[in-house]
Amino acid sequence: MSAAAGGLLGFALLPMAVAFADDYAIVPDPSSVEEVTGIYGSGFFGVPQLAHAVDGTQLFDVDDTTVGTSANPDVVGTFEADEATVAGSLGNEELLVTSDVSGTVGTAAGDVPAVGSVISTESLGPLGSELYSALSAPSGDVISDTLITPFGDFSRPDVSFDAAAGLATDSLATVPVPFVGTYDIVPDPASPEAITAINGISHAGVIVQGDAVLDLVNTAGGTTTDPDVVGTFDAVKAATHDAFGDHSEALLVTSDVSGTPGIAAGDVPPVDSIYNILYLGDSGVESVYSDLPTASGGNVISETLVTPMGNLTVPMHFNADEALAPFSAVPVGHDDDVVADPSSTEVFTGINGNPPGAVAVQGSQLFDVDHTTGTASSPDVVGTFDADVTTTVKFDGDQTETLLVTSDVSGTPGTATGDVPLPGSVIDTSTFGDGWENVYSDLATTTPGTEVISDTLVTPIGDLTIPLDVDWFPNLAADMFASF
C-alpha cells in the first residue's frame, strides 16, 4: 500500500481537541495527514448507517490539557487508529486503535488507549455532543458514554454495549459459518485477520472490516483441534454486532488458495462469491444468504431463514453480484461522461451492508472521462484518473456508485467541461429505474478549502437542478489516498 497526494490536516472531524478522560484530549498528530482508504455515498439511496462515511487511518496524540498550549501541547502518548468520519453538524467520528506508538497503555486518565479500543464522538448539533469509549483491557473492557451539553456533562450509565469486544484478540467473528452440506467456513488459524476499517454508531452498533484468510472444513470429519480442511480462500469481510445482541458476517471472495472452486458440497466458494449470515440475538434465528458464480457464467443465489422450528427457503432472490458489475456512464460535466476504463479491472477492497437487504462493495479502479462526441466502441477519451469506488445495491433495485478521485493519470485537471476531476473530488450517482437518477458532484479546486458542488435530478421529462449546496465531503483534497 502506498500513498499519494498529500496536503494539510485531513478530513477528520477532530481538528481540535476532543475531551478524553479527565483533563486529557485526543487530537490528530500535527505531523500526520489522514490516509483515506474508502468512501460511502448517499444515505438516502444507499446504506443508511454508512451515509457519507469516509474511512481512513491516522496518527493521534493524547494531550494533557492542564499544561502546554495549543501551539505547544503536552503530548503524553501517541497511537495509530482506523477512523470513519461523517462530516456535518450531525456528523460523527469513530476510532479503532490499531497500534500504540508511545506513552503508558491503559484505561486510567493520561493513559494511551490499548489496541482494540473504540472511541467515538457524535455531534448533536446545538445540543452538544456524545462521547463514547470502549477501552480494551485484559480484565474487561471499560465502557463509558457522556453527553456533553451547554448545560453540563451527563454520564449515561444505561449504555453498556461493548463496541471493542473481541477486537484486541481478533475474535469478533470466529463462530463457524455454515456453508453447503456438512461444510463450514472458519478463520485460518495461521492467518489473523487484517482489520482495515471501522464504521457504525459505537454506542449502538459497530461494523469492522478486514482482509481474511478462511478455511472450508468438513464438520463430518476431523476434530475442533484437527479439522478436516478441504480448501482455503482469501476474502474481504465485514463483521457487525450491536446492542440488541445481533451479529453478522459478510464475505466477498477475492482469491482461491487451495481446493476445488465450485458450488457443490466440498467446493471452495469461487472468486466473486458473496456470502452473508445474520444472527438475530439469542433467538436461534439466522438469515443465510449466498450468491455464488458458476463456471457457465450464471449465479446460484440462495436465501435461507434458519429457525428453531425448522428452515425456510426464502423465494425472493437479491442479486448481490450486481454490485460487482461496472456502473453505467456518469456525467461529470456538461458534455462529458465518466466511465470505468475498459483496460482496468476493479480491485475489490471491502464489503458491507448485510445482503439480502443491501450490499456495498468497495474497490479501486481507473476511470476515463469521455467526450460524448465519441461512441461506445470508439470513445473520445480526454483524460483518465484513479478512484476509490463503492457500489451499493438495495433490495428494491436502487443502486448507488460513489467515486473518490485519488490521482489524475492524464488530461487537464480542473472543474471545467472536459477537465479531469482533481484528487479529492467526489461523484455520487444513484439510479432508481425508469430513467430516474440523482447525480451529486463535489469537485475539488486548486484553491484549498473550496469546491464546486452540483446536484441534479435526471428524469424522463428533463433534468432538474437541485439548489441545495451541501458539502457532504469537505477537505478531502487535503488528505492522502491509499493505493491498493
Kindly state the percentage of the chain with pLDDT values over 90: 38
Give, in order, the Cα–Cα distances in Å from 279 to each of 29, 57, 276, 289: 39, 30, 10, 12
| DSSP strand pairing (358-371 vs 347-352) | antiparallel
Number of neighbouring beta carbons within 10 Å of residue 396 = 10
Taking the CB of residue 371, how many other CB atoms lie within 10 A of it? 16
Strand partners, 402: 390, 428
What is the residue extent of each domain of the chain?
2-155, 177-317, 329-483
User: Is residue 167 over pLDDT 80?
Assistant: yes
276 secondary structure, DSSP code: E
Task: Calculate mean pLDDT across residues 429-436.
Answer: 85
**Comparing 255-259, 383-387, 392-396, which segment has the lowest mean pLDDT?**
392-396
Total Cβ atoms within 10 A of residue 443? 23
Q: Which of 350, 360, 318, 322 shows the shortest CA–CA distance to 52? A: 360
CA within 13 Å, CB half, 449 = 2
pLDDT value, residue 209: 93
Please check the confidence at residue 251 and state whether its pLDDT lies above 90: yes
Take residue 358 and report the three cell numbers written for it.
443491501
Task: Assess whether pLDDT exceeds 90 at residue 118.
Answer: yes
Distance separating alpha carbons of residues 472 and 91, to the nearest angstrom: 10
Number of residues that make up the chain: 484
Cα(119)–Cα(133) distance, integer angstroms: 4
pLDDT of residue 335: 62
**Could you give the CA distance from residue 337 to residue 104 in angstroms, rounded to a whole number?**
53
What pLDDT, on a 0 to 100 scale, did the predictor assign at position 15? Answer: 40
The pLDDT confidence band at residue 173, using thresholds 50, 70 and 90, is low
Residue, of 427 and 333, whose pLDDT is higher = 427
Parallel/antiparallel/unpaired status of strands 480-483 and 35-39:
parallel
68 conformational bin, left if phi > 0, alpha if psi -120 to 50, beta if neither: left
Side-chain-side CA neighbours of 296 within 13 Å: the count stands at: 4
Contact 198, 94 (CB under 8 A): yes
The confidence score (pLDDT) of residue 324 equals 92
The cell numbers describing 346, all together, are 476493479
Burial of 433 (0-12, 13-18, 19+ CB in 10 A): exposed
Per-residue model confidence as pLDDT tens digits over 43-55: 656 666 678 888 9
- Give the residue among 97, 161, 160, 91 at the shortest CA–CA distance from 130: 91
What does pTM read for this prediction? 0.88
pLDDT digits (tens, 9 = 90+) for 77-106: 999 999 998 876 677 889 999 999 999 999
Is the pLDDT at 212 greater than 50? The verdict is: yes
pLDDT given at position 482: 66
CB–CB of 146/154 below 8 Å? yes
Q: Is the confidence at residue 21, as pLDDT, over 70?
A: no
Kind and range of the H or E run holding 256: strand 247-258
Backbone angles phi, psi at 49, to 5 degrees: -75, -5
Of 480 and 196, which is predicted with more confidence?
Answer: 196
DSSP state of 175: S
> How far is residue 202's CA from residue 117's CA, in Å, rounded to a whole number?
11
